[in-house]
Structure 1
């Protein structure tokens, strides 16, 4: 991850220097906590600039770039994003933030202690709360907040629109301890990652009912308990503005205000150079530009070593001048226009580079990971063989190179769900699934009943058209015959003669219809031959897997109706998986 901040330099920015050069920043840094001294796992070069809290002046404002305004301030909803996390870290309690080694540490601003006090017959964790910890409305943080959040996230009430409930479903009960400052949590099953629970912690006013949980924190957070409070959200300006919390009982935040500003990644270079933002996650190309800007002074009379105009050699310039002043007037005008356009681009680029010299880039790994989770409860992935096939088909090494390589970070996939690389207890257990192997993935799919390049076949006794239609058609014909017979009984000889003529006409029509059907059959045979040829070509596609015949294990897949659609299990070989 690349992070850009203003280094020591201008007077206006000097006051926020320490906050802007601490690698992967976290909000507790702004509140004076030590978690901002982010240190990458072992094996990753440290690229941060920690500064002691006492060396940082009070006051000022930081503008921080985010991709977009948060869709919700409820971090447990499906549409929560990185902006939601960034904002709520400053507003709500985090009981166990990560320290510089990537380890969860107890946050003394909220907890005096938290530990497992019983393991048999049930695991019991006792939280002792900081008696100064209060919500912004003055109410003490206590057991009712823990209970409300557990009931909302345990997954038993679908009225709560939750995106995850990991760990909360293992809680059996939550009780008040010896006093109001103690919370006793009993688990139905042992849960080793209990420190990850109740972070962020929401007030019971938000989590106490489905209505408030679903919509109460979508556009605002009225009741908070962090070093900052939410001052306002402006959709017009694309900003979320935070201010110091006057009730905050911990170390006072160094900043007066913190403004999160929505800036698309493609616009961040301009936003940095024109002063719109002070801190931003940037892509590798922008990071390289900043590094080059600090290395050479292309905008101060020195030749540019990069960017537009950097490759205009003296010889090329002389040739350009000769053409521009030659006898070909049109060519000269075109060359002059091109030179003027190029000159503007060079000047604009040089101005940006001059501004980018005031920024520094910090790179590090975050104490987080991204995973591809396979839902094995229903559908094709309910088959363990299919899940293993997908896992064997994925090239985790290539994914790591694609994501981490451009940042100059070690491109090694994570091998554990319990610890990150460099943390105590980390062990690579990814070998349990085996290495990436396309051939074995195909074999697993074949064993599960999936065929390569086949077709989704209908049951053998199923013909075109439904049975109801056939039955209805037959009954219609019988009814028509009955009506015709009744009519025959009530007519005279003249009508019989007329009916005879009609029969002759109908016979002629039927003969013509039969001829048409024969022609259609011939065309159908040709179409079938064409389809067979296409199926044969499709069978050579090594990356496409489709549902097999109905008598194979994959027959539980939904049958197609009307025009058959071929459900693909995996994209073509070498496609990018995310």
Structure 2
């Protein structure tokens, strides 16, 4: 496939709530309520996709660590892990988590009483790149690293792993039994990605060993070179992969700031890039101009971009200064005019190249939230939290964020699931809609008055009992029960229980 053909489309997903904005190459019934929008992707069957080639994918940064469970892991860390490490569950077309047959024959809850037990039956072909079978020792090592019991491990998240009581080998080497001390509904999110025991077996290996490289992998791609100078990370097709071979020979992740991505696409430096609203608008303008619908009429400099807002009077003044009697001022103006001319030409050339791209919208299981810490301070009072919730207009916020992107704007009404999921139910009426008077009444009842002054509410106790104190032991933040209000939410019906995501069944999506 030629590069021109590869770059003939622009795929766009929006990073807010339901849809991130992606640009790149490319040629049923909902359950639990309507999804946000239909897919806007030109799908095709696998057999019609050409084999081979290199895809250059723009990412925000090169990862500081390749350990997805560390605090400084980022989206690129997760992207690499998804390509080179086992993902036990993947999402189907309706966003539901299903066992990945490349790694699992089956995974199910086999006991609920007296304790929850999950049995994993592994694919007998699944092996690490060093030839060792994927098995119980890898599960055990990851559990111990992420359980939170050993503080020597630098872990950023432990949800679910701290509930595991024990992990055992089943009847065969291909079976793994996981027993939970407390039931965990979102068990499918665990062990994805699954790291080899060489990474999770000791604190030193976990903390430092997987930051810059992964010596042992087990995915359709293998980790190649990470080059800081060129800001690229190469993933190459894994010759030992037992599943369907990857179509691409190489996937090159290239760090490109979002503001520079339209220019990088136009210059042919990347083939796929998540873009923002301004990038999408540039492509739309380029295609409009190519069709002769722009003010430039399809020829000459575009009627937008550098200098488009310059008035005739400003242009005349610039010319006069450039050729005036003040030599120093004239030299400065001529230099500025030269730079401006170069910027206009560069922008026009980029727009001409962007005409070959088409903007697409791709669905993503995501949401945007406003979280309030209710562990201490004024927000420790439930009345204050409810007042803030009633004061904010969730619909207005959703409109502000999503309508400019051409996306449906309906706030999420569930704390458990995203719209389109089987478990989704709109419970937003339990709190009530935006109501400034109700918010004021709640604040008054809590002792707050206009001007920021606080008075002692009727019946309040004096002394230390009058206000809850933060003892440092109460967790705060999403998923802890002290995360307060989640505001904007419009989603695509993708699943929240998927392994390796933060939109699990236990996550709040208010």
Secondary structure of 1:97's partner? Answer: strand
Structure 1 residues 210 and 549: CA distance shift in structure 2, 3 A: farther
Pairwise CA RMSD: 3.9
TM-score (norm 1): 0.67
Aligned partner (choices 158, 162, 165) of residue 165 of structure 1? 158
The 8 Å contact of residues 301 and 344 in structure 2, kept in 1 or not, is answered as no
1:51 aligns with 2:44: yes
- Equivalent residue number for residue 11 of structure 1: 2
Unaligned 5+ runs, structure 1: 1-9, 27-39, 453-538, 559-577
| Counterpart residue number, 1:523 | none
Does residue 551 of structure 1 match 2:463?
Answer: yes
Mapped partners of 1:220, 1:443: distance in 2? 57
Change (3 A) 1:336 1:68: closer
> Separation in 2 of the partners of 1:158 and 1:408?
47
- Distance in 1 (CA, whole Å) between partners of 2:382 and 2:315 is 68
- Is residue 15–residue 59 contact of structure 1 (8 Å, CA) maintained in 2? no
Q: Distance in 1 between matches of 2:456 and 2:355?
A: 55
- Structure 2 CA distance for partners of 1:437 and 1:218, relative to 1, 3 Å: farther
Deviations 1:313-337 (A, max 9, x none): 9xx69x9789979xx9669x89998
Matched, 1:365 2:329: no
Q: Distance in 2 between matches of 1:213 and 1:414?
A: 37
Distance 1:191 1:101, change over 3 A: same
Shift of the alpha carbon at 1:215?
2.3
Tell me by how many angstroms 1:133 deviates.
0.8
Counting only pairs closer than 5 Å after superposition, residues 392-471 of structure 1 correspond to structure 2 as 392-441=390-439, 443-444=441-442, 447=445, 451-452=448-449
User: How far 1:109 moved relative to its partner?
Assistant: 0.6
Q: CA 1:204–1:546 in 2, change beyond 3 Å: closer, same or farther? A: farther
Deviates more, 1:233-242 or 1:436-445: 436-445
**Hey, what does 1:100 align to over in structure 2?**
93
CA contact (8 A) 2:12 2:274 kept: no
> Separation in 2 of the partners of 1:260 and 1:340?
35
Separation of aligned partners in 1, 2:456 and 2:4? 59
> Which runs of 5 or more residues in structure 2 are unaligned?
20-32, 291-295, 471-509
Say if 2:200 is the partner of 1:207.
yes
Deviations 1:215-255 (A, max 9, x none): 22222222111111111222222222211112211111111
Bigger drift between 403-412 and 378-387 goes to: 378-387
TM-score normalised over the length of structure 2: 0.75
Is the alpha carbon distance of 1:324 and 1:398 closer, same or farther for their aligned partners in structure 2, counting shifts above 3 Å?
Answer: closer
- Identify the residue that residue 353 of structure 1 maps to in structure 2: 351
Between structure 1 and structure 2, the one with the greater Rg is: 1
In the alignment, the residues of structure 2 paired with residue 128 and residue 408 of structure 1 have an alpha-carbon distance, to the nearest angstrom, of 44
Normalized per residue, the structure richer in helix is 1
Tell whether the 8 Å contact from 1:149 to 1:207 is kept in structure 2 after alignment: yes
Q: Residues 91 and 224 of structure 1 are in contact (CA less than 8 Å); yes or no, is this contact kept in structure 2?
A: yes
Q: Which residue in 1 is equivalent to 2:141?
A: 148
Partner of residue 53, structure 2: 60
The worse-fitting range, judged by mean Cα deviation, of 58-67 and 363-372 is 363-372
CA–CA distance in structure 2, aligned partners of residues 136 and 323 of structure 1: 65
Residue 66 of structure 2 is matched in structure 1 by 73
- CA offset at residue 555 of structure 1? 4.4
Question: Equivalent residue for 1:306?
Answer: 304
- For the 8 Å contact 1:41–1:365, the answer to whether it is kept is no
Give SS of 2:177's match.
strand
Checking the alignment, whether the CA contact within 8 Å between 1:93 and 1:225 is kept in structure 2 is yes
Work out which of the residue numbers 276, 301, 308 in structure 2 matches 1:283.
276
Instruction: Show the 5 A alignment for 1:309-388.
Output: 343-375=341-373, 383-388=381-386
Q: Of 250, 257, 264, which residue of structure 2 is paired with 1:264?
A: 257
When residues 437 and 166 of structure 1 are mapped into structure 2, their CA distance, relative to the original with a 3 A threshold, is farther
SS at match of 1:243: strand
The 1-side partners of 2:102 and 2:455 are apart by: 54
> In 2 relative to 1, CA 248–121 (structure 1 residues): closer, same or farther, beyond 3 Å?
same
Deviations, residues 63-105 of structure 1 (Å, cap 9, x unaligned): 1111112122222222222222222111111111112322212
Q: Structure 1 residues 101 and 337, CA, compared in 2 at 3 Å: closer, same or farther?
A: same
Q: For residue 118 of structure 1, what is the aligned residue in structure 2?
A: 111
Q: Which has the higher contact order (CA 8 A, sep 6+)?
A: 2
- Tell me: CA distance 1:179–1:323, structure 2 relative to 1, closer, same or farther (3 Å): closer
